[in-house]
Structure 1
C-alpha cells in the first residue's frame, strides 16, 4: 500500500516485554514502532515486585519510564490496538483500530494474556487488590493475614501449602472440587490449613474492603485476602490472523492455560519474521522475566535483519565484481 509508514520492526504491546524489546532495537539503530492498546494485565496492581532496581514501582510508572527511555532512542509509541496482520513481499502490514495501516519487516508480538477467574460473584472486581493469585508477587504484602484459597484446579493443595510460607492462617475452600485424597488431607492438616467444603457463592466486601466469602449454604467465612487461580489465556487474535494459534499448556496433567508457542528460546515462531515474548507465550512470566524475554527476542530479530541485509549486500557485491 502506497504511503504506508514502514519500520524495521513493529512491536505490538507496550508492557515490560514490548518496551524492553523496543529499547534494545532502538539502541541497535533500528526504526521501531510500538503499538500499545494501553490495557496492561497488571493495571489493577498497586506495585511491581521482584524487579531488581524497580522493586515497588507502580506498573503505570514503570511503563511511563519505559516509554521515555525508548523515545530517547527514536522509537515511536502509538496508542492503538493492532487488529489484524498480513504477510507482504517486504514483511507485514498491520491494521490498527484507528483506521491506519503500518508496515514492518519483522514483528515482535507481546500482547500478554487475560486472566479468566472462577465464576464467583465479586471476585473479578477485587482481582489485583485483595484477590490475588501469585504469592511471589503479593505474598509479602499479605503476610500474617487470614488468607483464603478458592480451589479451581488441582493446584489448590499446592497453593495452600505455598501460601503457608507467608501466613499461618490459611483456609482452603474446595468450591465444589472433589474431596481431597487421604494424602493431601494429611499434608494440609500437618501444615495447619483449614479445609472448607461446598461452593463459594460470593466475595464479601464492607467499606471497600474484602472481609471474607459467603458460601452457597449462606455461611460467612471471614478472610482478609483471597487467592484464586485463573486460567491464563493468551491475547492471540493478532497472531491468529497470521495462522499462529494458542495451544494448551499443562501442569500435573491438567490444562492451566493457552499460549502461543515459540519454536526456540528466543521467541521465534513458526511464521518467519514473527517473534513472541512475555505472557502471550510464557504464561508464568513475571514482569522481570517478560522484560528479559523481550530483550532476547529483540537481539535475535536484529540478527535476523542483519543476515537478510548481508545477503543483499553480497548479491550486490558480486554483481559489481562480475
Structure 2
C-alpha cells in the first residue's frame, strides 16, 4: 500500500496510507438570469425532496432531451398543471415526447430570458416577450465533481464524471475510497444525491477501511 502526501492550502503537508474522497458534486444550473439566485429555494432540483410541498401547484420544468422526462414524473406524482420549457427547440426523443403528450404536459420551446419572483409567485420571461406564471419550477441541472482529486490520483472515472467504486467504496487506486454523490457503482445509472445515502456511504467505507487497517497491522490515528 502506498503513502499519500496531501498538500493543504496553508502549505503544510499530511502523510497517510489511506484516503476517503468526499468532495461531492456541484450543480451547474442553466445560465438564465435569475436561475442561480433561486436555486434550491424556488427553483427546485429534486422532486423527492420538494414534491410534497408542490402538490397541486402550477409547475414548470426547465429541461430538454431525456431530462425532460422530469416533467412526466412531476405530472404523474404531484400536479396536473405542468408546463415543460425546453429553452429552445425541443430535443426530446419521440417516445418520451409521446409520453408527455399523453400526460397532457404543455411544451414551450421559446428560449427563456429570465426567471423572476419567489416560490408561489414565479414568472418566466421568454425572449419573445411572453411570460408564464408558475408557483414553482423544477430543473435537473448538470453536475461536475466538487474537485479533481480523484483524477489527480489516477482513479477511474465513469463517462458521466462519477468516481467508479466497488461495493466497499474502494476506487481503482489502492488505498483510496470515495463516498457520497461523487461516486457510484458501475451498475447504477445515477448516484443518489441525498444526505442519508451519502452519510451511509461514508460510514460503510470508513468501517471497511478501518477493518482493512486492522488486518494489515497498521495503527489507526485520529487527528483532532
TM-score greater than 0.5 by the shorter chain:
yes
CA drift at 1:179:
5.7
CA deviations on 1:215-247 (whole Å, 9 max, x unpaired) are: 111111111211111112122322232123643
SS at match of 1:162: helix
Counterpart residue number, 1:174: 86
Q: Give the alignment partner of residue 267 of structure 1, picking from 139, 157, 169.
A: 169
Q: Give the alignment partner of residue 104 of structure 1, picking from 9, 16, 20.
A: 16
1:298–1:218 CA distance, 2 compared to 1 (3 A): same
Counterpart residue number, 1:298: 206
Counterpart residue number, 1:122: 34
- Structure-1 separation of matches of 2:6 and 2:93: 51
- Conserved? CA contact 2:65–2:92, under 8 Å: no
1:133 aligns with 2:45: yes
Q: CA RMSD in A?
A: 2.2
1:230 aligns with 2:138: no
- Structure-1 separation of matches of 2:12 and 2:92: 55
- Structure-2 separation of matches of 1:293 and 1:177: 40
CA drift at 1:183:
4.5
1:280 aligns with 2:191: no
- Structure-1 separation of matches of 2:26 and 2:41: 16
Counterpart residue number, 2:188: none
How many matched pairs?
211
- Structure-2 separation of matches of 1:109 and 1:291: 13
- Structure-1 separation of matches of 2:156 and 2:147: 7
CA deviations on 1:271-312 (whole Å, 9 max, x unpaired) are: 1111000011133331111111111111210121122118xx
Unaligned runs of 5+ in 2: 185-190, 219-224
Q: Give the alignment partner of residue 218 of structure 1, picking from 129, 146, 160.
A: 129
SS at match of 2:129: coil
1:104–1:181 CA distance, 2 compared to 1 (3 A): closer
CA drift at 1:170:
0.7
Q: What TM-score results when the alignment is normalised by the length of structure 1?
A: 0.60
SS at match of 2:66: coil
